[in-house]
A and B are shown apart, each in its own frame.
Chain A
């Protein structure tokens, strides 16, 4: 019976979503827990959010994370978008494709070790700048992938049409290519930003010693070793809301503009 099948499918859908989001929901609820215990509910409070603002270490880490995310996103977006244009315009090469996907597929831990060894080999001083460079490495691949899916929808003849009508290559890029791929670039940038904000392993390996280059995920990790506090729950809730908003926005921007 089709209605029964539908019912089962609906139930299944709800269960999967519950499985995915229940832990997060619990975390969000506990972030408003008055008592410092992670398990027992003892009344509603926003005091832990206030405590966040008083914690210098957390604020410093948040600032670091923001710096890393913004700069690595800008660099990765520029390089990734140009790479995407080049890859789509030139003849395809299977080997080149595989190499491009590698930073997305290989485990973070491997990339982290590789980057650390590389920096050490070059006698590169570690710090925020090395985290930024490392994040650019994997974010280029993601931005490139997003922009390429957008480029695939286009007829390359429009670029020739622009040149035929008297435009230079630079004008064609500015007036035709950029407006057409812009939603894809924006979506790629948002994805890169969220990936950079919550990236832990690579940042941990390439940050070097000292508190000055601690990012937010690293800060949380160091705090959590003494137990999960509602303060961490509050912080996690804030981060999650930011990420979630960005992902939704990226989706909307890319979808809304497909029909342009």
Chain B
């Protein structure tokens, strides 16, 4: 956690409307020095609009953006010490790779020698040294992505904004680039703000994540905080897989299937009314008989078993669990543990877990 680190960008009450639609709704965020920050959310949640407002391409209707304490809201995009790496890369097709990278430095009025030196260093760092004289058209997707990155980074911005930077790459290259981007961010030591709809990508790369929905921040925290301690049903369901058990709120937990599921209540969950108990698939265990003790347990029937190599995904039919029409519970058994049991479809089982791993959330 970097709570004591200096704030680079402070976003205060930022709001953007497109006609009737509120794209970004009173968002407050503090981005720290040297932080890898992810704006995560489904499409249409306002994450790209938020990024474009930081870059200066969209004007907020309300609120302001401070950079190092200075109000940037009215500053033109060309004058902000912030650079954006576009989703389409937006490379200049009529210029070579080296010319693309040099462009921003030319705009800054750097001397010829300095430009040559800095472009060379950038080509080296992004492993593009052999491609300086090539046109973007003759490069692969991964190479183009690195040119876009180099072009934005060569200006040494205070903050680098990345709009879905890995969206156009195939899965294998994407995983490689996730680690590569993280390494570069550590090496250069500037703040990265990445926009993504891919929760896995955000978990792997980011130091902190803001989950957005309908223009509002739902939760801001480290990947572990969001995964282990979601404060809303939306965040719980959006990040990773989650099992939900809906019922009436009681003083001990959530009433479900004739018993009570105990757990830790998120602040937003009210003390009475309806609530859901949420638990991750890897926290669940299977048993043929109801286990003794204070553990949470529900009865169900195995409907499907999927082998994933490192683990076994067991799908249970549990009445009232999950969502309407899809009353399923997912149990993820580690391979070693799964070998001990004789699990097969059709078997009636008990599914049990610790109260410590249960989050009680508002519906």
Contacts and interface: CB of A to CB of B under 8 A. Distances in A.
A69 to B, nearest CB: 29
A166 B86 contact: no
Interface stretch (B6-14, B87-95, B212-220, B255-263): B87-95
Nearest to B52: A160
A260 interface: yes
Nearest to A175: B103
B237 to A, nearest CB: 33
Interface string A173-207: 00110011000000000000000000000000000
B83 A164 contact: yes
A2 interface: no
A166 B78 contact: yes
Contacts of A171: 107
Given A259-B137, A260-B135, A166 B92 contact: no
Interface residues of A, number: 19
Contact of A158 (B57, B87, B91, B135): B91
B78 A179 contact: no
A189 B77 CA distance: 34
A259 B155 CA distance: 29
B103 A162 contact: yes
A158 B137 contact: no
B108 interface: yes
A136 B337 CA distance: 81
Pick from A155, A157, A161, A164 the residue with the most CB of B within 10 Å. Answer: A164
A110 interface: no
Nearest to B101: A165
Interface in A235-260: 259-260
A158 B78 CA distance: 14
Interface in B96-131: 103-104, 107-108
B45 interface: no
B55 A179 contact: no
A166 B107 contact: yes
B88 to A, nearest CB: 5
A175 B77 CA distance: 18
B277 interface: no
A155 B88 CA distance: 8
Contacts of B208: none
A158 B107 contact: no
Contacts of A15: none
Contacts of A260: 93-94, 135, 137
Given A167-B78, A179-B94, A160 B86 contact: yes
Pick from B83, B92, B135 the residue with the most CB of A within 10 Å. Answer: B92
Contacts of A162: 92, 103
A164 B100 CA distance: 13
A165 B84 CA distance: 8
Nearest to B103: A165
B144 interface: no
A161 B93 CA distance: 12
Contacts of B233: none
Interface in B63-91: 76-79, 83-84, 86-88, 90-91
A212 interface: no
A160 B240 CA distance: 35
A230 B125 CA distance: 71
Contacts of A166: 78-79, 104, 107-108, 155
Pick from A157, A160, A166, A167 the residue with the most CB of B within 10 Å. Answer: A166
B332 interface: no
B301 interface: no
Contacts of B76: 163
A168 interface: yes
B359 interface: no
A164 B108 contact: no
Nearest to A172: B78
Contact of B77 (A163, A179, A259): A163
Interface in A131-162: 155, 157-158, 160-162
B151 interface: yes
Given A180-B93, A180-B94, A260-B94, A165 B86 contact: no
A158 B84 contact: no
A43 B233 CA distance: 96
Interface string B20-44: 0000000000000000000000000
Interface of A: 155, 157-158, 160-168, 171, 175-176, 179-180, 259-260
Given A155-B88, A157-B90, 5 more contacts: A161-B84, A165-B107, A165-B151, A179-B94, A259-B137
4 closest A-B pairs by beta carbon, nearest first, are A166-B107, A165-B104, A157-B90, A161-B90
17 contacts: A157-B87, A157-B90, A160-B77, A161-B86, A161-B90, A161-B91, A162-B92, A163-B76, A164-B55, A164-B77, A164-B78, A164-B152, A165-B103, A165-B107, A167-B107, A176-B92, A179-B94
